[in-house]
Structure 1
Amino acid sequence: MHPKQIIDDFKSMGATLVLDNDELYIDNPENIYPELEELAKSYKARIVAFMKGNYSDQDHAVKQTMDKIIKFYCGIDQDMNEKINDWLNNDAEGTAAVMQLLIILNHNGWEKVTEPICNFENDVTDKLSKEIFERAMAYFKKGA
């Protein structure tokens, strides 16, 4: 989910996300459900980056693609699963890179595969994610 969408959704419910240094706060948290507060915590790193102006559309495309790949591995139904499956079955290096990404995320503390990876990303995972994204897009464009 794009951080802007989260921020806008909170605002529409009368709760505002506020950034103070690197800390994220919710003004009027009583206006949202506890599950939405957990969502904001899960996506905190991306929300903070967006609010600081350090989250581009390209960053979102890469991160959204990684989210979709992880959902694919978890067996979550989504429109892209067939394309992801085809790509990974035909790109051994891409598959190995995805596996390496998952291992690094795990070393960074990501243990629950259904939890967003946002707060476990770092420069290493960002670089690897971009490489995976570029491999996937090259494959999809080649097949188009």
Structure 2
Amino acid sequence: MHPKQICDDFASIGSPLVLDGSNLYIENPENVYPELEEFVKTYKKRIIQYLKGGYSPKEHSIKQTIEKIIHYFLGIEQAMNKKIENWLNHDAEALDMIVNQLFIELWNNGWVEFSNPIANYENHITDTLSSQIFERAMSYFKGG
């Protein structure tokens, strides 16, 4: 989910997300269910980056694509699963990057609860891998 949408949704219920230095706060937390507080925590890193002005549309496209790929591997039904499967059947190098590099780096960063979004487990290595995987996927889908 795009951090802007999360921020907009919280603002609409009277509990905007506020950045104080590197700390993220929910104003009027009494308006927010505990489950929503937990949801914000799972995307905290991206929300902070967005509020600091460092979350570009391209970066969102990359992260969204990687999340769809991860959902494919987790067996979550989504419309593009067949397209992802076709791509990976034709791009062994991308498959290797995902399984033997990206997943391992995320695991090393603490992503062991696979139902959690990867947002708080990303680092410069996963960002680089994600960008490379995204470029390979887009090249395939555009017929390159």
**What's the C-alpha RMSD, in Å, of the aligned pairs?**
0.9
Q: Which residue of 1 aligns with 2:86?
A: 86
- Of residues 115-124 and 134-143 in structure 1, the stretch that sits farther from structure 2 once superposed is 134-143
Give the residue type in structure 2 aligned to 1:15: S
Residues 1:136 and 2:137 are matched in the alignment: yes
Q: Which residue of 2 aligns with 1:43?
A: 43
Alpha-carbon separation, structure 2, partners of 1:87 and 1:113: 23
Give the residue type in structure 2 aligned to 1:71: H
Residues 1:68 and 2:63 are matched in the alignment: no
Deviation per residue, 1:40-72 (Å, 9 max, x gap):
100001000000001000000000011111111
Report the 3-state secondary structure (helix = DSSP H, G, I; strand = E; otherwise coil) of the residue aligned with 1:24. strand
Q: How many residues align?
A: 143
Report the 3-state secondary structure (helix = DSSP H, G, I; strand = E; otherwise coil) of the residue aligned with 2:128. helix
Alpha-carbon separation, structure 1, partners of 2:33 and 2:87: 38
TM-score normalised according to structure 2 size: 0.97
TM-score normalised according to structure 1 size: 0.97
Q: Which residue of 2 aligns with 1:121?
A: 122
Residues 1:59 and 2:24 are matched in the alignment: no
Alpha-carbon separation, structure 2, partners of 1:91 and 1:110: 25
Query: Equivalent pairs: percent with the same residue?
Result: 58
- Unpaired segments of 5 or more residues in structure 1? none
- Unpaired segments of 5 or more residues in structure 2? none
Aligned structure 1 segments of 4 or more residues deviating by more than 3 angstroms? none
Alpha-carbon separation, structure 1, partners of 2:89 and 2:44: 33
